[in-house]
């Protein structure tokens, strides 16, 4: 959960902006993600060492099945290269192409979803920075890269101004920003 300056007016404005994606928490100045769809509960503490996630259906089923399909199609092709006629070899080659296409499709679908998430995070962090940073620092927001904005999402509101200054001045990477965070702000929505 995250503290927002501006009290109830800021909470109401953010709640209107994000609709059902944010709800007012138990505290007076807190916002929390909705429980539905979360892969990790809010009670689990999230840190640099445990913030990455695996999607079991994708990482442990889809990728291994498609990877095995590619391997077995090559095994079949080379095991029977000296047998059969051209038509059989052509069919084996088409199976290899199909297996490779399915594997590439699985990776591309995953990467497209991650890219959309990155764009949403970029927008959310720009809105958050506009609300939290002092007027003198708001001019630095356009200088932040997408990678830096994604790393800053884990920073607490209190340490955000210092980290923004550091990220712009020293051109920190996403990983360096995450390492510099003292008070981790969990992101339960990232897949």
Domain boundaries, the chain: 1-44, 45-180
Judging by DSSP bridges, how do beta strands 22-24 and 30-33 pair with one another? antiparallel
Cut 0.75: pTM above it: no
pLDDT tens, per residue, the chain with 191 residues: 344 444 444 444 444 444 433 333 333 333 334 333 334 445 567 777 777 777 889 989 999 999 999 999 999 999 988 888 999 899 999 999 999 999 999 999 999 999 999 999 999 999 999 999 999 999 999 999 999 999 999 999 999 999 999 999 999 999 999 999 999 888 877 76
Distance CA 172, CA 158 (A): 19
User: 43: closest CA among 32, 30, 56, 58?
Assistant: 32
Helices (H) and strands (E) in the chain, counts: 7, 3
């Amino acid at each position: 959960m995250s503290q927002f300056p501006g009290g109830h007016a800021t909470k109401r404005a953010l709640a209107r902006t994000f609709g059902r994606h944010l709800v007012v928490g138990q505290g007076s100045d807190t916002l929390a993600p909705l429980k539905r769809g979360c892969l990790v509960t809010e009670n689990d503490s999230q840190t640099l060492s445990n913030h990455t996630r695996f999607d079991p259906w994708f990482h442990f089923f889809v990728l291994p099945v498609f990877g095995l399909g590619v391997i077995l199609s090559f095994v079949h092709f080379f095991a029977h290269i000296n047998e059969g006629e051209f038509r059989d070899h052509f069919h084996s080659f088409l199976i290899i192409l199909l297996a490779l296409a399915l594997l590439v499709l699985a990776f591309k679908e995953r990467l497209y979803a991650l890219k959309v998430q990155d764009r949403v995070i970029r927008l959310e962090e720009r809105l958050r920075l506009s609300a939290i940073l002092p007027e003198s620092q708001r001019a630095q927001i356009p200088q932040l890269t997408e990678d830096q904005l994604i790393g800053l999402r884990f920073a607490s509101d209190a340490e955000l101004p210092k980290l923004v200054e550091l990220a712009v001045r020293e051109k920190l990477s996403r990983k360096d920003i995450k390492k510099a965070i003292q008070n981790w702000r969990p992101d339960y929505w990232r897949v």
